[in-house]
C-alpha cells in the first residue's frame, strides 16, 4: 500500500488549497514543544498560501479540564498563532471541539464494524501486558497478541469492551513524509491491532483524528515525529473508511537538557511559566534557531 501514489495526495495540483491544523489537547498547559510543532504547522500553511484550523481535542473527559481550553487559546494567541477556523471563531467545518463531534466518530465506528474491520476486545491492560510481544519501534505500545480476534459482539454479555482494528498482518504500509522522507512500517510487526473505541465508550485518538482530518479537508498534517508509526495505523483507517488521506509532515521533538522529550509535566517550560518570567515569543522562537 502506498497512499502517496493515490491521486488525492496530489497536493501540488493547481487550485489546490493548503489546509493545515493545530490540534492541541486541553489536558495541561501548552509547552515549548507544542509551540514549536505548531509554529512549523503555521509556517507550512503560510508559505503554501493556505489556511490554518484550530481543533480542540477535548475528547478525553477524564483528563480534560474546562479551564484549560480558554487558557490554551490565550497562550496560542499570545505566542503569535493565528487561525482562520476554530472553536472561538467558527468556520465551515464546525464544530471544532471534538467533544461535540461524537456523532461523526460513531458513524465511522459503525462503518468499520459493518465492514468487518474491527472486533470487540475484552482484554484488561494486564492481559495485554502479559501476552504481548515488544514492538520493534522505540516508544511504542506492546503489540496486541490478537487474543480477541475471533470475538463476536453478540457473545459479550454484561462486559465492557473496546473495539480493536484488525491490522493486515505482514502488509507493508509506506508513505513519504514531507519532512522525514520515505517511511515503511509492517503491520503486525511494527504495530499491532489497535483500539479505535475505548471500553469507556470514547473514541480513541486514532479514529477521531482520521475522521476529523478527513471531514475538515486537511491537506497536510504537521505533528511530532513520535507519531510516525501512528500515521501507518491511520492510513489503514483512511483506507477502511474509504476516505482520502492527507499529506504528513513530522517534526523532530524538542528535548530538554537531559535529552528527554518535553511533556506536560515539564511545567517550567510551559508557555504560561515562561510568559510569567517575562520571556517574549520572539525570544523563545529565536532560541529555536540556534
**Mask of contacts with Zn ion, 63-102, x by CB under 5 A?**
----------------------------------------
CA-CA-CA-CA torsion sign (273, 278, 280, 284)? negative
- Toward Zn ion, which CB reaches closer, 45 or 121? 121
Cβ of residue 122: shortest distance to Zn ion, in angstroms? 6
**Does 232 participate in binding Zn ion (rule CB under 5 A)?**
no
The neighbouring-strand residues paired with 186 are 172
**Does 196 participate in binding Zn ion (rule CB under 5 A)?**
no
**Does 123 participate in binding Zn ion (rule CB under 5 A)?**
yes
Cβ of residue 117: shortest distance to Zn ion, in angstroms? 16
Question: Which range touches Zn ion (CB under 5 A), out of 45-53, 62-70, 73-81, 146-154?
Answer: 146-154
Cβ of residue 235: shortest distance to Zn ion, in angstroms? 23
Classify residue 46 by burial, with Cβ atoms within 10 Å: 0-12, 13-18, 19+.
Answer: middle
Torsion, Cα of 180, 182, 186, 187 (10° steps): 70
- Toward Zn ion, which CB reaches closer, 149 or 265? 149
How far apart CA 134 and CA 141 sit, in angstroms, is 8
**Does 148 participate in binding Zn ion (rule CB under 5 A)?**
yes
**Does 195 participate in binding Zn ion (rule CB under 5 A)?**
no
Determine contact, residues 142/128, Cβ cutoff 8 Å.
Answer: yes
- To which residue does cell 481543533 refer? 55
**Does 142 participate in binding Zn ion (rule CB under 5 A)?**
no
- Toward Zn ion, which CB reaches closer, 76 or 121? 121
Q: Where are the alpha helices (DSSP H) in the chain?
A: 32-47, 66-79, 102-114, 125-131, 205-215, 228-241, 271-276, 281-289
Question: Which range touches Zn ion (CB under 5 A), out of 3-11, 64-72, 113-121, 237-245?
Answer: 113-121
User: Do the bridges between strand 51-54 and strand 19-22 make them parallel or antiparallel, or are there none, so unpaired?
Assistant: parallel
Torsions phi, psi for 270 (to 5 deg): -70, 150
- DSSP E strand stretches across 79-197: 118-121, 162-165, 172-177, 181-186, 194-197
- Toward Zn ion, which CB reaches closer, 94 or 131? 131
Question: Which range touches Zn ion (CB under 5 A), out of 5-13, 51-59, 72-80, 148-156?
Answer: 148-156
Question: Which range touches Zn ion (CB under 5 A), out of 31-39, 97-105, 141-149, 187-195?
Answer: 141-149
Exactly one of 41, 112, 121, 214 binds Zn ion (CB under 5 A); that residue is 121
SS3 119: strand
Q: Which grid cell sits at 213?
A: 482530518
**Does 147 participate in binding Zn ion (rule CB under 5 A)?**
yes
The residues binding Zn ion (CB under 5 A) are 121, 123, 147-148
Amino acid at each position: 500500500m502506498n497512499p502517496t501514489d493515490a491521486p488525492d495526495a496530489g497536493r501540488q495540483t493547481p487550485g489546490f488549497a493548503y489546509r493545515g491544523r493545530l490540534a492541541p489537547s486541553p489536558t495541561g498547559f501548552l509547552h515549548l514543544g507544542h509551540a514549536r510543532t505548531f509554529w512549523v504547522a503555521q509556517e507550512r500553511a503560510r508559505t503554501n498560501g493556505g489556511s490554518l484550523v484550530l481543533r480542540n481535542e477535548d475528547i478525553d473527559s477524564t483528563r480534560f479540564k474546562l479551564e484549560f481550553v480558554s487558557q490554551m487559546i490565550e497562550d496560542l494567541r499570545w505566542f503569535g498563532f493565528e487561525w482562520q477556523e476554530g472553536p472561538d471563531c467558527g468556520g465551515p467545518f464546525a464544530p471544532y471541539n471534538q467533544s461535540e463531534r461524537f456523532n461523526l466518530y460513531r458513524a465511522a465506528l459503525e462503518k468499520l464494524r459493518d465492514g468487518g474491520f474491527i472486533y470487540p476486545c475484552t482484554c484488561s491492560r494486564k492481559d495485554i501486558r502479559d501476552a504481548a510481544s515488544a514492538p520493534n519501534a522505540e516508544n511504542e505500545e506492546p503489540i496486541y497478541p490478537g487474543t480477541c480476534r475471533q470475538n463476536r459482539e453478540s457473545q459479550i454479555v454484561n462486559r465492557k469492551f473496546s473495539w480493536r482494528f484488525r491490522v493486515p498482518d505482514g502488509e507493508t504500509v509506506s508513505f513519504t513524509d514531507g519532512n522525514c522522507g520515505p517511511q515503511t512500517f509492517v503491520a503486525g510487526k511494527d504495530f499491532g491491532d489497535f483500539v479505535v473505541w475505548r471500553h469507556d465508550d470514547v473514541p480513541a485518538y486514532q479514529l477521531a483524528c482520521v475522521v476529523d482530518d478527513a471531514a475538515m479537508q486537511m491537506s497536510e498534517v504537521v505533528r511530532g515525529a513520535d507519531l510516525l508509526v501512528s500515521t501507518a495505523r491511520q492510513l489503514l483507517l483512511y483506507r477502511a473508511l474509504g476516505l482520502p488521506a492527507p499529506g504528513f509532515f513530522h517534526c523532530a521533538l524538542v528535548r530538554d537538557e537531559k535529552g528527554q522529550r518535553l511533556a506536560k509535566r515539564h511545567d517550567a517550560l510551559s508557555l504560561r511559566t515562561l510568559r510569567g518570567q517575562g520571556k517574549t515569543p520572539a525570544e523563545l522562537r529565536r532560541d529555536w534557531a540556534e
